[in-house]
Structure 1
């Protein structure tokens, strides 16, 4: 039985005070569930990781980072290594979020290097995959998701890949108010699980958690997570409101 996982990606939002207050409110609201029946993570901007990390340190709520660089150290101005993230208390890190891919131009190869570096640095990566609207309209969803999944996990053994979570986030549903239907979400999640079985084996496929991301809200989370292959949610805007985020966590439980 895969344990549900709900992660809140704050993106480029909050300041230090509001971020700490939000984290504390999530801890207060989800303390009975976080780390027990549901894995929960908050993913604030880099500059607030330490402060938010302190706010959640004695709870079951984990800390995650929105990105990572693939080198361990060196002359890479503005970049953050896996060791640095680990040092400030991070457990998880996003790799290949759609905004990194489509706004900032990250390639599949770069995402793979970041994911590999995350594992080497002791972090648990969340590999994000998903298609653009024009790709879905052209019936290319499976083609795009397969390419991103195979490339993102390239070179990883079955043992190493067991530490990875996949998040399917249709780009056309992120921040648009549009959400994939439960049938659309289940269809792609099931496809990813079949792909993992092909790439590795059935045991790996059944153990790996696959999250849905894309305009997840308190009023649709239970329906989405009620699908057989949807193991949780990567939440954007709704994670910035503690009450909404806690309701999503409760739906996962």
Structure 2
């Protein structure tokens, strides 16, 4: 049975003390209650705390992810972080294509494809985010938008590379807004994404690829999202910052 995957995207939140205390308390509860059984749990803290976070979780099946990488191998890119740097401190997961990166840092599909290629070169597992804006949905363009985001990025990769991917569907209009896609809307889009992988790579890959939902997931609604046939877990933002709420989401 395919594991449910829960990813905490902390974005630009939690300082050193909050990061380390959260992870130590979280790890203690996870091990005592064994709530990580048949689940893959990934935490994405800020860049300065990746190394210490990875050390805290070392020897467990909990994983640490970076929130981004630069598309170049190395060079004069002040303030940026490369895939090889992450690899050198034992980080094996990276989030790419989050709508906030697309919006605030003008990342387009061309840039994301370069980031995907460099991530794969260094053996990083990729959580690739896709999603439409409220305007695009109102224009009934959501399916075209998602298809284009996939065709111009991950669909340039070989079938052998797909084992390195999770796809996270995050409707942009539901991120940090308190709004949610309905369970039916989320399931419909997840089913559509899976059908695109079926047409491109075949049944086995379509069945095996994990497609996660993100967009104001909370401890109050997570269970109903996770019950949908094609939703394999969640990419959690604000509610992953609070230990009790995040634990409830995992247990749901």
TM-score, with normalisation over the residues of structure 1? 0.96
What SS does the aligned partner of 1:162 have?
Answer: helix
Distance (whole Å) between structure 2 residues aligned to residue 126 and residue 59 of structure 1: 20
Instruction: Find the residue that maps to 1:90 and give its secondary structure.
Output: coil
Q: Describe the SS at the equivalent of 2:152.
A: helix
The runs of at least 4 consecutive aligned structure 1 residues that moved more than 6 Å come to none
CA contact (8 A) 2:190 2:230 kept: yes
Unaligned runs of 5+ residues in structure 2 are none
Match in the other structure for 1:33:
35
- Higher relative CO (Cα under 8 Å, sequence separation at least 6) belongs to 1
How far apart are 1:63 and its partner, in Å? Answer: 0.3
Provide the rounded CA distance (Å) in 2 between the counterparts of 1:190 and 1:76. Answer: 39
**Counterpart for residue 135 of structure 1:** 136
Distance 1:228 1:144 in 2: 22
Structure-2 residue corresponding to 1:177: 178
In 1, Cα distance between equivalents of 2:236 and 2:134: 19
- Cα deviation for residue 30 of structure 1 reads 2.4
2:11 equivalent to 1:6: no
Counterpart Cα distance in 2 of 1:178 and 1:216? 9
Q: What is the distance in 2 between the residues matched to 1:30 and 1:184?
A: 32
SS where residue 63 of structure 2 aligns? strand
Aligned mates of 2:35, 2:122 — CA distance in 1: 28
Structure 1 Cα separation of the partners of residues 186 and 135 of structure 2: 17
Tell me, in whole angstroms, the C-alpha distance in 2 between the residues paired with 1:138 and 1:186.
20
Q: Distance in 1 between matches of 2:134 and 2:242?
A: 27
Match of 2:203?
202
For the pair 1:123 / 2:124, whether they are aligned, the reply is: yes
Quote the residue 2:66 is aligned against: 65
Deviation at 1:101, TM superposition (A): 0.4
- Structure 1 position 8, deviation (Å): 0.2
- 2:156 counterpart SS class: coil
Shift of 1:26: 2.1
Deviations, residues 46-73 of structure 1 (Å, cap 9, x unaligned): 0111121222223221000000112222
